[in-house]
A and B are shown apart, each in its own frame.
Chain A
């Protein structure tokens, strides 16, 4: 058995490494966006790429998200693999027409003759004290658009693996990067970074018997913390990290819920019309006879993302998760 030297690394470093490895492996991979060149991106994820691969391959564009994604469409038509950065979640909205009317459906419009291998990197979510328009969780919009894959990493290794898989995919992939986890460190083997399983596989981060927390992205560490805290109450919580919202891994999720009989979906974005409703419906449809309680949701409130001084009240935290799990318990006993 070979020993693997694990070192602490940040998610941002793993993402940079994924871009660099993808660019080195395939000359058709091009990075473009606002500030991605000389500055290396406002989160430094594209740091060093322009110096290493030239400004033709890591390009500072004019400040125009529709233009960035729209030109990426033309580049992909000509055989390149563009990776675009949207800088902040809410800055991506001007590009939605390109995303929805062209990126997501070009393969379909042309009956498979013109696939678009575009990766759209969107730093998303709150918890970093950002002012308005810097903390949105926009995953429901992407999930509701057929033709897109939507992935979101929660660990350093997955950040590397999912971004590599996204760039390698012949279909457009939206990579939602939880910016609150950019600087969180975990152990990773930078000497031999591994691509992740094919896009669309969830993973059980923590096994348990009492209930399943179904979550993704920035809420994964919160759920793991909640699961630890729940031990004091005598609850043994399982945590499933979805990693991919589209395609959705019904198999892993339902296998877990069938084992535990109870489920709570946890995410930052609003609950009305949010991902949790879809997930709860899918789980209910498939696992109804295994459920001891209704599937519950812990989500952000249904309001425009709050100002930073109030965001802690909005974001799903350990206490709210535990209170919700307690409700599950209560529902089960009565």
Chain B
């Protein structure tokens, strides 16, 4: 036997034929956004759920109107209205169980409130008194996130940690269409898919990232199509159809909880108001477009369905409006009270224990405050 023959394994094994890791077909979103209201599917929807969604939509709209009014009175530094997007906000909160977590972005105050957070505490960031008004652990709602998409990896990490601990907790992370261009969006989806983390990503595609329209934001067929590249299913849903958003999100949450991994949901909706009260939307879009979307209003869509099926009478409508009005009056009254802030709190939560350097600065501010106080006493005398 020759040396070459002895080395039977000398010939390298041929490389394996290339195989796709995942069949992409089941991951692809539907061609059209999924709809329930006004279709045969509506008959399957739980009437009680639809009525709950309706009451929450009416309340959410009133909240948007009230908060915007508060910016005009100088009671809120800024408010990014979600008028027109209430169906996404409400369905997001209602699709979760109590033990689940919500990771909102700055426009998602309604989802935060629908999770049970106090309406005033939900506005603390936008009011400018503190960055987060609520305890994130009380209702399992992460702080409103201002940097785009950076909260998405947090949702992945939390869901992953929960699963490692054996808890069947799901994290729902919300982001806008502009946020899908950020690196953190990509990294979060990739981590979630690789780890099969129980996360649902909800993209509210409201057409504009401040002024930049979707066509200048992405070349993808839809934002839901981005899911395929990560190996997770993408779902496309009519974001103004509360019943459809609720159904798609509930499915995705259930799938995540049962170990099926993450889902990317794109809800196609529209921002009726400007980006915030500080923005002039007439510079980048026409009234005709806004009017088209007003005709596809989430409250009207649901109201029509409920009325047609005899599930909502004038009394029920009035009672939803009354509840919303009570909430708004309470919000108005409490927001009209001046916030009481302690300047010394500036140093309270930088570290568990202030550094010596912070202690020195704390002493400086204390002396300044005492001098200020003494001056005021002098003036009063």
Contacts and interface: CB of A to CB of B under 8 A. Distances in A.
A64 B190 contact: yes
B137 A147 contact: no
Interface in A274-293: none
B142 A147 contact: no
Interface stretch (B44-52, B314-322, B346-354): B346-354
Interface string B117-148: 00000000000001110011100001100010
Interface residues of B, number: 40
Contact of A248 (B135, B348, B350, B357): B357
B136 A64 contact: no
Contacts of A249: 356
Interface stretch (A5-13, A102-110, A134-142): A102-110
A174 B130 CA distance: 26
A115 B352 contact: yes
Interface string A100-142: 0110011111111111000000000000000000000000000
Contacts of B191: 61-62, 64, 67, 71
Contacts of B158: 74-75, 77-78
Given A67-B190, A109-B131, A250 B356 contact: yes
Contacts of A56: 164
B198 to A, nearest CB: 12
Give the residue among A64, A170, A246 with the most B Cβ atoms within 10 A. Answer: A64
A247 interface: yes
B150 A97 contact: yes
A273 interface: no
Interface string A156-195: 0000000000000111000000000000000000000000
A284 B150 CA distance: 41
Contacts of B194: 62
B188 interface: yes
Nearest to A70: B153
Main DSSP-derived SS at the B contact region: helix
A193 B345 CA distance: 39
A79 interface: yes
A110 B350 contact: no
A252 to B, nearest CB: 11
A82 B157 CA distance: 10
Contacts of B190: 62, 64, 67
A76 B161 CA distance: 8
B327 interface: no
Give the residue among B152, B161, B171, B188 with the most A Cβ atoms within 10 A. Answer: B161
A74 B349 contact: no
B187 interface: yes
B348 A111 contact: yes
B155 A111 contact: no
B160 interface: yes
Nearest to A94: B183
B143 A200 contact: no
Contacts of A80: 161, 164
Contacts of B171: 74
A146 interface: yes
B156 interface: yes
Contacts of B216: none
A66 B157 contact: no
A72 interface: yes
B97 interface: no
A66 B184 contact: yes
A77 B157 contact: yes
B326 interface: no
Contact of B153 (A67, A79, A108, A109): A67
Nearest to A67: B187
A107 B157 contact: no
A30 B157 CA distance: 12
A112 B357 contact: no
B7 interface: no
Nearest to B359: A247
Contacts of B281: none
Contact of B350 (A69, A98, A107, A113): A107
Nearest to A149: B351
B356 A247 contact: yes
Nearest to B136: A114
Contact of A101 (B150, B164, B187, B351): B150
Contacts of B135: 110, 113
Interface string B312-344: 000000000000000000000000000000000
B132 A111 contact: yes
B162 A67 contact: no
A255 to B, nearest CB: 14
Contacts of B143: 106, 109-110, 114
B142 A112 contact: no
Nearest to B158: A74
Contacts of A318: none
B132 A110 contact: yes
B60 to A, nearest CB: 25
14 contacts: A64-B190, A70-B184, A73-B157, A75-B157, A78-B158, A97-B184, A101-B147, A102-B150, A102-B154, A109-B132, A112-B348, A147-B350, A248-B355, A250-B356
Given A62-B191, A70-B187, A111-B132, 5 more contacts: A67-B184, A70-B157, A74-B155, A111-B349, A169-B352
Give me the 4 closest cross-chain CB pairs, A-B, nearest first. Answer: A74-B157, A70-B153, A67-B187, A71-B157
